[in-house]
Chain A
Amino acid sequence: MTGRRSRTTRQLTAGRGVYAVLGVAVLLSLFPLYWTLVAASRTNTEIHRMPPVLLPGGRLWHNVTQVFAQTDLRLAMLNSLVVATTVTASVVLTSTLGGFAFAKLRFPGRSPLLASVVATMMVPTQLGIIPLYIMMANWFHWADHLQALIVPAAANAFGLFFMRQYLIGAVPDELLDAGRMDGCTTRGLVWHVVLPAARPAMSVLGMLTFMAAWNDFYWPKVVMTQQNPTVQLTLSELASGYIKDYSLVLTGALVASAPVLVAFLLMGRQIIDGIMQGATKG
């Protein structure tokens, strides 16, 4: 962290106006989460009151025990954790390597390959879903197994493209050329130049990927069953029926967001530090 102090001194310092604007932004961002807490601590009847109730009630514990009694949330959380962690590690790695190749290496077919990666982002996923399901179920026999969620998500165009755009600016060509002159192989360059420079973007991408994997719903719903559910699948079970008990739905939502929030708070400093270590300037 040696570079950090000298770096922060060179930043613009916030005035009162900046705090005010950011305060409003964060309040707006926080409110629905707060309201989830309010709803999770009340009865379904109270939630539909108008004007809305804005203070937490006393039923949080009761609702939480209800949710755990009615669903297999423990297994679901474990499954989601395994899936999200594995997918994140894999996506960050493959995106960094691939993004580096697109950003800094010259090779035949670079432009068409890059165009095809961007093009794959444009494919509306929902309707490949039946063929995909048939593949998973009947060819791989992966239906209802975690790898059905992990393998298709192990690399994605978004991450690749994001990393490429970031590395274009973050890794100066001179540095790579210097490395080549010193006899570094490409792998050596990745190791000594690219990975350190990519860290801020890697942490951001990691966080976004983890959240996306944690919140993914559509595909798990098709390929997994409630025998081996993910968190979002279990939540949907709470939210089913002609008549929904929203207090339980939102309690589930709260419990399901908790690990992500905890990860946020634990990792937050590191993520931000990562971002703060502006990559290339020493």
Chain B
Amino acid sequence: MPVSLPRTGPRGRLLATSALLVLALTAVTSCSSSGGSSSADEDPNAKITLTVNLFSDFGYADLYKEYEQAHPNITIKENRADMGAHHQNLHAHLLAGSGTADIEAIEIGQVAGFQPEAGKFVNFLDNGVSKDQWVPSKTAPASSPDGKVLFGLGTDMGGMALCYRSDLFKAAGLPTDREQVAALMKDWPSYLAAGKQFLSASPNKDVRWFDSGGNLFTSILAQAPQGVYDADGKVVVTSNPAVKQSFDLVAGAIKDGESAGIQAFTPAWDTGFQKSQFATVACPAWMSYEFKANPPADGGKWDIARIPGGGGNWGGSYLSVPKSGKHTKAAAELAKWLTAPAQEARLFKEKGYFPSDQELWTQPDIAEHTDPLFNDAPTGKIFSQSARDLSPQPLGAHGAEIGTAIGNALTSIEQGKADPDGAWKQALKDVDNIVN
């Protein structure tokens, strides 16, 4: 142990021991360079371990077991890191040319940032993958600019819906039936008008209409034909009117007191679900876990309806295979299998992750799937519809960052530190700092 220093002689032994330890460690180490071994000529039956780096639970555990049974020579090991750290590490490891796992997940908000490095990934188009498995809006961000390289296979997507607390709606005299809710809130202005009505009529004055301005902004802008990038990869925050319109809409709602001002994915947000601090949340399919994990403490129930404005996408991911991995060929096969329609369908039914494979959206067992978590709502139908209504938006390297900057500006309005004008100016300064 480090701090028990013998009182006399054996001090030298301490030195010797530590030196020996270092030596021993160095000696044990064979030079196993993980630099791009050509796995093309690898024995297909050799025992190998494939590593998969993810940034959250993709729900793959059972699928791995199945794959390992079918391929006795393969063992799969999954690692997860924090979302930000995961992508930063991937950038660092690509830069260094080593250290990547066999399969690396990439989130859609980050994927465009990897386009310049497309050459460092296995090209799935050379590995028997057809782009037609997905809609172009899913494949384009994970392709090289010339379209010749596809480096990411779509996993799930963030088809949008509106989650709402039917018990709180009822208490405030709003409709609780899904169809009626959707009819009442056809578009965002009518959604916000319903919010005002809710706030004035709700007996519980601690409840706000939605969780945070940043989330709402994301959902609104996701439906515009263009977001913060145009098709040429230029940032169009100032020139695309949809951005400012979405911002103003949300800023107005914050001024009306409709926002709880609780940032998503923070501990306070979890508490917000439990303590019923908001009555509606714009919810992509992958968010369903949050509702499972943090049920309302007052026994209230969540339900789910079509999103105002219809369509839109928020989140979703890809699997990629960096060339610097040890077993690129086997890894590409596994990635293909994990993202194949059959497996994607299973993941939706078991975990609620909505598939990005377009053929599934019309498949009966998907389209008719219902979810007991949301009062047996037809989630399959709602998300398929949303996916079909999706107008693909061009993405860019800093999409996630720019979204964060605008979200921060909205937060500063929620905190009472800025008026909408000042906040917008602040956002533009931030965007300028990101781009230049």
Contact = CB atoms under 8 A, between A and B. Distances in A.
Q: Do chains A and B make direct contact within the complex (CB under 8 angstroms)? A: yes
A117 interface: no
Nearest to B20: A86
A137 B82 contact: no
B22 A86 contact: yes
A237 B25 contact: no
A96 to B, nearest CB: 10
B35 interface: yes
Contacts of A48: 267, 270-271, 274, 294
Interface string A172-196: 0000000000000000000100010
Interface string B255-280: 00000000001010011001100000
B132 to A, nearest CB: 29
A150 B79 CA distance: 23
Main secondary structure of the interface of A (DSSP, over half): helix
Interface residues of B, number: 55
B56 interface: yes
B231 interface: no
B358 interface: no
B22 A130 contact: no
B2 interface: yes
Contact of B14 (A89, A203, A221): A89
Contacts of B275: 50
A151 interface: yes
A45 B294 CA distance: 6
Interface in A140-171: 141-147, 150-151, 154
Contact of B18 (A86, A130, A245, A270): A86
Contacts, number: 157
A210 B99 contact: no
B365 interface: no
B239 interface: no
Interface stretch (B90-98, B147-155, B192-200, B422-430): B90-98
Interface in B187-234: none
Contacts of B290: 242-243
Contacts of A134: 95-96
Interface string A199-212: 10011001101100
Contacts of A150: 22, 25
A55 B404 CA distance: 38
A93 B18 contact: yes
Contacts of A251: none
A239 interface: yes
A223 B99 CA distance: 8
Contacts of B96: 130, 133-134, 137-138
B32 interface: yes
